[in-house]
């Protein structure tokens, strides 16, 4: 309820008595608090308001604008607290002012506007604008005049070229609750320059140095600011030393642009960002200042180790063991700017007190990797039960049941999973074994590691179909082999198999013979997840208008046609490692791996979209990857556009009549086909909860071959 008073000059602070920063963040998230919750670890603030000798919580205090205590009491008595707040608000002054910025206008007066809200009248002559032209010495004061309601204004005559103005606003009311804008003026003050602008825009950009061919085209983002305003921003680039291209950058809070053109592994892209301002004689800035950034197009590496653990005694072990198993690996101790060069990430957070607490911004960034179809492993002693849960945590389907203690080990695998027959001892050193969270699986997640004594789970796996995750509260670097047992690398090997990432798959040239006979429908009518994929059991809310099919253009719920597209002829291009599929994790089929199953790589067909939320001008790319580790087989390849579970359009004809492509798969077959590749047009309305489904059906039996896949997407 306190939140409603914020705009009236009232500030709410909560203090977690004896709590850590992470504990306070978790408390705020649990109860949906948006005001600051500060850690009073040593009880300094608490003791100042509760001198004792007996101390209790909760304790509430209300201070006036001069920080004089109006109310203080143990416990929470709502009527008394609200009465003290109401009394305090009678004295406060609410103020809103947008500071003036540099201007080239030397002909017109300078206008200073602000709005004030106070229940006590201002002292005569106030509020005032205090200013000078040299930034030191005394200030000239002029009264601000009311214009309407709570709005006040003051103005200075037009100033000549080269003038610098320093100013602040002084507010005083009759009850003595005084303040300044900015706070603590004149030590703090606003300033701006009048005259010709010679300052170029400022460009902040974290350069891309590597990008996986699988995820091309890359999008460049930059923060661009200017003292009088940005006029334009441009991405300039060339591929393999060819002709330069320029693409306007769009401002969406930050500036961004997406490369055009085709690339393959080994290509080199040179690029720079150009920005101009609104000056009469425009100033131009470049990033980099000279030359161009170099972006190398690479095969997606198998794994990226993101070692945020201050002890760094687990991440390097994961790196070395994965490399010894034949996987391609990169390692960093900082959160990178992009993850679109990797098939999986391994995030190491450490254990208390040498641990990193994942914040919401970091979690949102890592979540995008899973949204793009990646797989993730994350380890941390406190991250599941003690630390604040981010959006990234939610993808692991892990419930942290207890904060635990330093009692980890021995660690055992779980029968029926890829960790069966794995048994390890675990380090007792505090950098490995301190406050080890106890875990339990949520929903269709399943336990993969169990502590021996005391018994609890410390490893959970989850197959989200469009992504896969493994989370542990122990550190991989703390595991060591029992006599006659498997090495810890066997655990990593199982995780990578679960992630469907296989090292050193030989490149094979696929053959797709033209059928000699007209393809016939399956002998059994496809239906359900065991045959032709169907939408999830939950039915999306019906659109305001039922979309009407056309050929080949469906109709969106806003009665605006989905843009027409020309299906691209499949170009079956083998790549060394199968990428994972792209989709939203919100719609999860029910037949995910459980503790009674052993997840191993099977034949599959997967969807890969470059993104799942499209607006005008965005590139739209849909790829489908087929993998067959088994013997030669003929299959019917289905791709279906599902519109609100009301209409279904079948590739390659994109009509509502069942259609498919017949393919002969050799043993070890792996290939990616481009189905769509176009730019999303203007003025096509909006639609949510659209889906692409894909599956392989055996023509002789109508049975599902391997796993099916689904991706949910939308446009606005």
Q: Is the pLDDT of residue 161 over 70?
A: yes
Distance CA 256, CA 223 (A): 9
Domain span(s) for CATH 2.60.40.10 in the chain: 95-194, 202-298, 505-716
Cα 212 to Cα 210: distance, rounded to the nearest angstrom? 7
Q: What is the predicted pLDDT for the residue at 557? A: 37
Question: By C-alpha distance, which of 319, 279, 272, 315 is closest to 295?
Answer: 272
pLDDT number for residue 4: 36
Q: Average pLDDT over the chain, rounded to whole?
A: 81
Q: Which residue would you say has higher pLDDT here, 41 or 269?
A: 269
Helices (H), 643-715: none
* β-pair type (619-628, 669-679): antiparallel
pLDDT of residue 604: 86
Instruction: Identify whether 333 is preceded by a cis peptide bond (ω within 30 of 0).
Output: no
Q: Over the stretch 639-663, which tens digit does the pLDDT of each residue have?
A: 999 887 778 899 998 888 889 999 9
Work out the percent of the chain whose per-residue pLDDT is above 90: 48
Token pair recorded at residue 343: 């098939």
Does residue 184 register a pLDDT over 90?
Answer: no
* 92: nearest Cα among 7, 169, 150, 14: 7
Q: Which CATH architecture best describes the domain 202-298?
A: Sandwich (2.60)
Q: How far apart are CA 211 and CA 575, in angstroms?
A: 15
Average the pLDDT over each of 136-145, 535-544, 589-598, 676-685 and give the range with the smallest value: 589-598
* Confidence bin at 594 (pLDDT 50/70/90): very low
What is the C-alpha radius of gyration for the chain, rounded to an integer number of angstroms? Answer: 31
Closest CA to 167 of 196, 139, 201, 127: 139
Who contacts 360 (Cβ-Cβ below 8 Å, separation ≥6)? 388, 390, 391
pLDDT level of residue 85 (50, 70, 90 thresholds):
confident
Mean pLDDT across 610-630: 87
pTM above 0.75, yes or no: no
Q: CATH topology for 303-498?
A: Rossmann fold (3.40.50)
Query: pLDDT confidence of 537, banded at 50, 70, 90?
Result: very low
User: Model confidence at 576, in pLDDT bands (50, 70, 90)?
Assistant: very low
pLDDT for the residue 108: 96
Residue 162 reports pLDDT greater than 80:
yes
Say what the pLDDT of residue 412 is. Answer: 94
Q: Are 711 and 648 in contact (CB under 8 A)?
A: no
DSSP state of 410: -
In 259-357, at which residue ranges do the beta strands (DSSP E only) sit? Answer: 268-277, 284-287, 293-298, 303-307, 329-332, 344-348, 350-351, 354-355
pLDDT at 542 (0 to 100)? 38
What CATH code would you report for 505-716? 2.60.40.10
Region 626-644: what's the mean pLDDT? 89
How do residues 374-419 score in pLDDT, each as one tens digit? 999 999 999 999 998 999 999 999 999 999 999 999 999 999 999 9
CA-to-CA separations, 708 to 122, 376, 445, 530, in angstroms, rounded: 71, 21, 19, 9
In the chain, list all ranges with CATH 3.40.50.880. Answer: 303-498
User: Which residue bears the tokens 């005001």?
Assistant: 35
What's residue 6's pLDDT?
36
- Span 248-271, average pLDDT: 94
Q: Please count the CA atoms within 13 angstroms of the CA of 180 that sit on its side-chain side.
A: 15
Q: Is residue 581 predicted with pLDDT exceeding 80?
A: no
Q: Just give the CATH number of 95-194.
A: 2.60.40.10
Per-residue pLDDT for 30 more than 70?
no
Residue 326: band (very low, low, confident or very high) from pLDDT cuts 50, 70, 90: very high
CA distance 677 to 568: 7
* Per-residue confidence (pLDDT) for residue 16, from 0 to 100: 81
Helices 489-498 and 315-324 cross at an angle (nearest 10°) of 80
CB 655 within 8 Å of CB 667:
no
Q: Where in the chain is the domain with CATH 3.40.30.10?
A: 2-89
Q: Are residues 648 and 656 in contact, defined by beta-carbon separation less than 8 angstroms?
A: yes
Mean pLDDT of 271-286: 97
CATH of domain 2-89: 3.40.30.10
- Average confidence (pLDDT) over 200-216: 91
Kindly tell me if the per-residue pLDDT of 555 is higher than 80.
no
Least confident span in 9-13, 125-129, 586-590, 710-714? 586-590
pLDDT tens figures, 443-484: 999 999 999 989 999 999 999 999 999 999 999 999 998 877
Q: What is the pLDDT of residue 130?
A: 95
Residue 585 has pLDDT above 70, yes or no: no
From 8-17, 36-45, 160-169, the region with the lowest mean pLDDT: 8-17
Residue 563 pLDDT grade (very low, low, confident, very high; cuts 50, 70, 90): very low
């Amino acid at each position: 309820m306190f939140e409603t008073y914020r705009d009236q000059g009232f500030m709410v602070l909560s203090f977690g008595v004896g709590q850590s920063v992470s504990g306070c963040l978790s408390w705020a998230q649990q109860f949906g608090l948006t005001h600051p919750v500060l850690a009073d670890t040593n009880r300094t603030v608490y003791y100042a308001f509760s001198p004792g000798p007996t101390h209790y919580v909760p304790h509430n205090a209300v201070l006036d604008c001069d920080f004089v205590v109006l109310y203080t009491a143990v416990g929470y008595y709502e009527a008394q607290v609200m009465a003290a707040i109401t009394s305090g608000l009678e004295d406060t002054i609410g103020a809103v002012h947008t500071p003036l910025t540099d201007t080239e206008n030397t002909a017109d007066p300078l206008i200073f506007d602000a709005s004030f809200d106070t229940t006590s009248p201002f002292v005569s002559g106030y509020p005032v604008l205090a200013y000078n032209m040299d930034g030191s010495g005394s200030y000239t004061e002029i009264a601000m005049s009311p214009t309407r309601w709570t709005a006040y204004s003051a103005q200075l005559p037009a100033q000549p070229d080269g003038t610098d103005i320093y100013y602040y606003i002084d507010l005083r009311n009759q009850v003595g609750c005084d303040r300044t804008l900015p706070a603590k003026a004149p030590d703090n003050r606003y300033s701006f320059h009048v005259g010709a602008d010679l300052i170029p825009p400022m460009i902040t950009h974290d350069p891309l140095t590597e990008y996986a061919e699988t995820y091309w085209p890359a999008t460049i983002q930059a923060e661009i600011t200017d003292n009088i305003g940005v006029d334009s921003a441009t991405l300039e680039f060339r591929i393999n030393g060819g002709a330069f291209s320029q693409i306007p950058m769009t401002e969406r809070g930050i500036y961004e642009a997406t490369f055009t053109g085709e690339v393959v592994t080994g290509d080199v892209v040179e690029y720079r960002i150009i920005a101009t301002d609104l000056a009469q004689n425009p100033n131009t800035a470049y990033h980099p200042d000279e030359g161009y950034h170099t972006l190398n197009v690479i095969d997606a590496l198998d794994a990226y180790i993101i070692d945020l653990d201050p002890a760094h005694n687990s991440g390097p072990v994961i790196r070395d063991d994965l490399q010894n198993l034949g996987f391609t690996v990169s390692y960093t101790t900082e959160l990178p700017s992009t993850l679109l060069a990797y098939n999986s990430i391994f995030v190491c957070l450490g254990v208390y007190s040498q641990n990193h607490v994942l914040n919401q911004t970091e979690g949102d960034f890592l979540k995008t990797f899973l949204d793009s179809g990646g797989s993730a492993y994350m380890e941390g002693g406190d991250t599941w039960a003690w630390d604040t849960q981010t959006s990234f945590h939610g993808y692991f389907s892990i419930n942290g049941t207890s904060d635990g203690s330093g009692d980890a080990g021995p660690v055992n695998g779980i029968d029926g999973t890829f960790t069966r027959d794995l048994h390890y001892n675990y380090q007792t050193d505090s950098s490995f074994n301190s406050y080890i969270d106890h875990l339990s699986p949520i929903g269709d997640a399943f336990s993969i590691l169990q502590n021996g004594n005391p018994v609890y789970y410390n490893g959970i796996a989850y197959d989200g179909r469009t992504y896969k995750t493994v989370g542990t509260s122990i550190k991989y670097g703390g595991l060591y082999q029992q006599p006659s047992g498997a090495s810890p690398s066997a655990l990593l090997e199982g995780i990578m198999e679960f992630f469907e990432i296989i090292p050193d798959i030989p490149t094979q040239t696929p053959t797709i013979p033209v059928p000699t006979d007209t393809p016939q429908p399956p002998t059994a009518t496809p239906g359900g997840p065991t045959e032709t994929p169907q939408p999830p059991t939950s039915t999306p809310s019906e659109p305001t208008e039922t979309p009407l099919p056309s050929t080949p253009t469906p109709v969106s719920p806003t009665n605006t046609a989905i843009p027409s597209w020309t299906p691209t002829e499949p170009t079956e291009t083998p790549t060394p490692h199968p990428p994972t599929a792209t989709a939203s994790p919100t719609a999860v089929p029910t037949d995910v791996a459980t503790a009674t199953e052993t997840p191993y790589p099977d034949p599959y067909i997967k969807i890969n979209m470059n993104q799942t939320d499209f607006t005008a001008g965005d590139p739209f790319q849909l790829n489908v990857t087929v993998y067959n580790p088994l013997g030669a087989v003929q299959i019917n390849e289905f791709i279906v556009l599902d519109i609100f579970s009301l209409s279904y359009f079948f590739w390659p004809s994109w009509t509502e009549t069942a259609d498919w492509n017949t393919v002969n798969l050799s043993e070890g077959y792996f290939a990616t086909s481009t189905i769509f590749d176009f730019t999303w047009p203007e003025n096509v309305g909006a639609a949510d909860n659209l889906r692409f489904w894909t599956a392989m059906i055996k023509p002789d039996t109508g049975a599902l071959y391997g796993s099916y896949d689904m991706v949910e997407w939308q446009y606005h």
